[in-house]
Amino acid sequence: MTEKHIDFRQAEFRTSAAKLADCPSDDGCEVAFAGRSNAGKSSAINTLTDNKRMARTSKTPGRTQLLNFFDVGERQRLVDLPGYGFAKVPLAVKEKWQRHLGEYLRERESLAGLVLLMDCRHPLQEFDRMMLAWAEGCEMPVHILLTKADKLKKGPANSVLLKVREELKQQELVSIQLFSALKRTGLDQLREKLQIWLRFEE
């Protein structure tokens, strides 16, 4: 097993892909980040990599439907999935995006886990449940980040954590934590999870 410690501050933008066929070579190991467009996904990736512009490297207007790949080691990648609720587009475009995303989640062999971000004040929205259902169907591990934890006091934030854990307790491949990009709360816990997921057999 590869045990080399990953320094996420060394992350570099690799490429963007519109569909599965455009993705980088399907080898090594990668972890994908998903979430509603207001869940704080870019902030989480930027905090993880200690680079305020990392998650926006390829984010020019009109390109929000792309999967963005970042190298964090040799054949180790983070993937920034499109935020659900991107610019108002026709239903057919959204359906096409969902189809490509579904293909990526089902067929990508190097995908080791999914980090699903939810605003801790509004967890388990329709999109979140859809992603959890997809992941469960694929037997894909999911690590939930309840983001913007700084917006709640400690007691209420912990109450949300316990409530979400209780609701998802039957899903054995799901783990959950509080996270705040602003306060860097939960950053070490996230890094630890990613270190485990991004190990792969040579």
- At residue 90, does pLDDT exceed 70? yes
Whether 31 and 112 have beta carbons less than 8 Å apart is answered as yes
Is 177 contained in some domain?
yes
Sheet of strand 29-35: strand arrangement: 12-17, 67-73, 76-80, 29-35, 111-119, 142-147, 174-178
In a domain, 100, yes or no: yes
73 lies in some domain: yes
The DSSP output letter for 39 is: S
User: Is 50 within the bounds of a domain?
Assistant: yes
Is residue 167 within 8 A of residue 156, CB to CB? The reply is no
Q: Is residue 3 part of a domain?
A: no
| Domains in the chain, number | 1
- Is residue 63 a part of any domain in this protein? yes
Q: Which domain holds residue 67?
A: 8-197
Query: Looking at the domain assignment, is residue 29 inside a domain?
Result: yes
pLDDT in tens, 139-183: 999 999 999 999 999 999 999 999 999 999 999 999 999 999 999
Q: Looking at the domain assignment, is residue 202 inside a domain?
A: no
pLDDT on residue 202: 56
Any idea what the CATH number is for the domain that residue 45 is in?
3.40.50.300
Residues 100 and 18: beta-carbon distance below 8 Å: yes
Please state at what angle helix 187-197 crosses helix 41-49, rounded to 10 degrees: 80
